[in-house]
Amino acid sequence: MHYQKLLRIPTTGKSLYNITPKIEAIVAESSVEIGLCTLFLRHTSASLLIQENADPDVLLDLANFMAKIVPESAKYIHDAEGPDDMPAHIRTALTHTSEHIPINRGHLVLGTWQGIYIWEHRQRSHTRELVVHISG
Amino acid sequence: MHYQKLLRIPTTGKSLYNITPKIEAIVAESSVEIGLCTLFLRHTSASLLIQENADPDVLLDLANFMAKIVPESAKYIHDAEGPDDMPAHIRTALTHTSEHIPINRGHLVLGTWQGIYIWEHRQRSHTRELVVHISG
Amino acid sequence: MHYQKLLRIPTTGKSLYNITPKIEAIVAESSVEIGLCTLFLRHTSASLLIQENADPDVLLDLANFMAKIVPESAKYIHDAEGPDDMPAHIRTALTHTSEHIPINRGHLVLGTWQGIYIWEHRQRSHTRELVVHISG
């Protein structure tokens, strides 16, 4: 069985947005008991990440690390879309365009400390399209 | 339904090679309407990436970033296969050995600006083996 | 057909642990001839990686690279769990929480030089939970 849904997720600036409850809801809707949930982000300047859901400081440190390793102040050839565009592409390349979580007994098998995030790398507001694909 | 195909893709030096049309053709061949396409590269010195397909400068900036962050001039213990071999392994680790794109109405659900690339990290010519797996 | 198994894997300090034989055994057990094997690690301070299985120096160079690019000596906001905790989260973000290998004729289609690793980023001993999901 293959079940697919498109989500439109508004973002308002560079940040990690926790989408775990949205994905859990779609898994419940699918009625799949054992299977695989694949998330696919239709963009190249925002990415997906599974990371710590407890201490928000972890997300701050992640963002600070990315800001340091892929600086917006560096010189890029592709600079017509603003200083945060090329760094957004690189930060996306270093993280993930898709994430995958098995389903067991109708629930994602996420660990206790794992949350699913969209990592928005652009400063201006966007609507990001996420395809949720469930096979079971 | 599971459909699988092995592609042999020639590369001629460090670069990002757009394989999107090749993958679209295999999806069409599979006749899958709704499903998931998984790409798996059978190598550890080349990788897969979904990235911007419009401005080629984005690919240049990506390559420049990798050259800076994983320099070939650094000292590596594993150096018997040439100065570009160990950096190739690290650049592969920082990107992806597999990529995944859901299929809807018989087509990959790629965003407008997304292309699928093999990122060759070695300078000499290679033939890279890519397994395309479609479930639907 | 969907087949799922939970493995508990002990780790004893920062290192890359080769789990390829364990995964091959589960693929055999599943009797799947053509399909897809997904590995999902239920943690945010250890990760998965497919890398060179021949020269162990490659793994040393990978670890040295990570130690340099994500230093434990840097200042992190999230520092209550020890100097190796926040670097472990970042190193996980830069590598993978899931890996995926197609199955053909009952075997993983890994390349000759590819091994599957759990990359433990914490120094103290842990038991890591890995979900192996096979569809075929």
Contact B61 A43 (CB under 8 A): no
A interface test, pick of C9, C48, C86, C121 with most A CB neighbours within 10 Å = C86
Confidence of residue C91 (pLDDT cuts 50, 70, 90): very high
In chain A, % of residues over pLDDT 70: 100
* Strands C15-18 vs B98-104: parallel, antiparallel or unpaired: unpaired
**A2-32 tens-digit pLDDT:** 999 999 999 999 999 999 999 999 999 999 9
pLDDT of residue B63: 98
- Residues of chain A contacting residue C90, judged by C-beta atoms under 8 Å apart: 61-62, 65
Q: Contact partners of C by the rule of 3+ C-beta pairs under 8 A?
A: A, B
3-state secondary structure chain C: CEEEEEEEEEECCCEEEECHHHHHHHHHHHCCCCEEEEEEECCCCEEEEEEECCCHHHHHHHHHHHHHHCCCCCCCCCCCCCCCHHHHHHHHHHCECEEEEEEECCEECCCCCEEEEEEECCCCCEEEEEEEEEEC
pLDDT of residue A57: 97
Q: How far apart are CA C1 and CA C35, in angstroms?
A: 9
The rounded mean pLDDT for chain B is 98
The domain total for chain C is: 1
pLDDT of residue B121: 98
Rounded to a whole number of angstroms, the distance from the CA of A57 to the nearest CA of chain B is 23
pLDDT of residue C16: 98
The rounded mean pLDDT for chain A is 98
Q: How far apart are CA C36 and CA C136, in angstroms?
A: 6
Q: Provide the domain limits for residue B113.
A: 2-135
- Residues of chain B contacting residue C52, judged by C-beta atoms under 8 Å apart: 44, 89
pLDDT of residue B39: 98
pLDDT of residue B60: 98
pTM of this structure: 0.98
Residue C16 contacts residue C62 (beta carbons within 8 Å)? yes
- Does the interface ipTM go beyond 0.90? yes
Residue A132 contacts residue A30 (beta carbons within 8 Å)? no
Q: Which residues sit opposite A8 in a β-bridge?
A: A129
- Residues of chain C contacting residue A114, judged by C-beta atoms under 8 Å apart: 42-44, 97
- Residues of chain A contacting residue B16, judged by C-beta atoms under 8 Å apart: none
For the segment B63-89, the average pLDDT, to the nearest whole number, is: 97
- Any chain B CB within 8 A of the CB of A65? no
Residue A40: phi and psi, rounded to 5, are -135, 120
Contact B34 A2 (CB under 8 A): yes
pLDDT of residue C66: 98
Contacts for A5 with CB less than 8 Å, ≥ 6 apart = A26, A29, A131, A132
CATH number of C63's domain: 2.60.120.460
Confidence of residue B95 (pLDDT cuts 50, 70, 90): very high
For the segment A60-68, the average pLDDT, to the nearest whole number, is: 98
